[in-house]
Amino acid sequence: MKYLLAVIVSLIVGMAPLPAQEIERIGIPGLEKILASPDDQLHVVNFWATWCPPCVTELPHFEKLSREYQGKGVKFILVSLDFPSQIDSKLIPFLKKNKVTADVRLMTDLDYNSWIDKVDKNWQGNIPVTLFFNNARKSRYLHPSEVTEKELRELIIKYKQ
């Protein structure tokens, strides 16, 4: 009987709708604030878009590890490069469908050339790209392509120290 009750509860909980995803819109000042964070923790900032197949492929890895590392000195921020005009029609439905609960921000400045150098001088503007940094420890690494879950985990371990 306990087993049946546990199954019923898990089904009910599994069917519960996810809370609406809050999307913070950021421009260059918001991006600069993220990049200047003085916190002594690893920041994992992924630049992606719903229209980018490799971005969509790697997104579950960021979601999974953001949950695993919650409260453990790693902060994940997923910066969407989707068009601001499509936040309600594309981005939010995509996040709901894929059950993304990680911290998602939408970059509103579409003049990429005005801000990609602020992320990293070597970034050519391709996505996906992930920046790992801890300003308190002066560590910084830009991963210029898609990551597997294993690679993401290894990079977190490497740069978290």
CATH number of the domain bearing residue 44:
3.40.30.10
Tell whether 30 is covered by a domain.
Answer: yes
Read off the pTM: 0.86
At 22 the pLDDT is: 77
Instruction: Identify the domain containing residue 62 by its residue range.
Output: 22-160
pLDDT bin (cut points 50, 70, 90) of residue 46 is very high
Tell whether 6 is covered by a domain.
Answer: no
Higher pLDDT, 16 or 44: 44
Tell whether 10 is covered by a domain.
Answer: no
For residues 30 and 23, give the distance between their C-alpha atoms in angstroms, rounded to a whole number: 13
At 21 the pLDDT is: 65
Mean pLDDT score of the chain: 89
| Token pair in block for residue 31 | 């991006």
Tell whether 90 is covered by a domain.
Answer: yes
Average pLDDT over residues 15-37: 81
Tell whether 145 is covered by a domain.
Answer: yes
Tell whether 5 is covered by a domain.
Answer: no
Tell whether 156 is covered by a domain.
Answer: yes
- Is 112 strand, coil or helix? helix
Measured CA to CA in angstroms, residue 117 lies from 3, 5, 31, 157 at distances of 56, 55, 12, 26
For residues 50 and 94, give the distance between their C-alpha atoms in angstroms, rounded to a whole number: 7
What is the tally of structural domains in the chain? 1
pLDDT at 10 over 70: no
Over residues 87-146, the pLDDT tens digits come to 999 999 999 999 999 999 999 999 999 999 999 999 999 999 999 999 999 999 999 999
Tell whether 1 is covered by a domain.
Answer: no
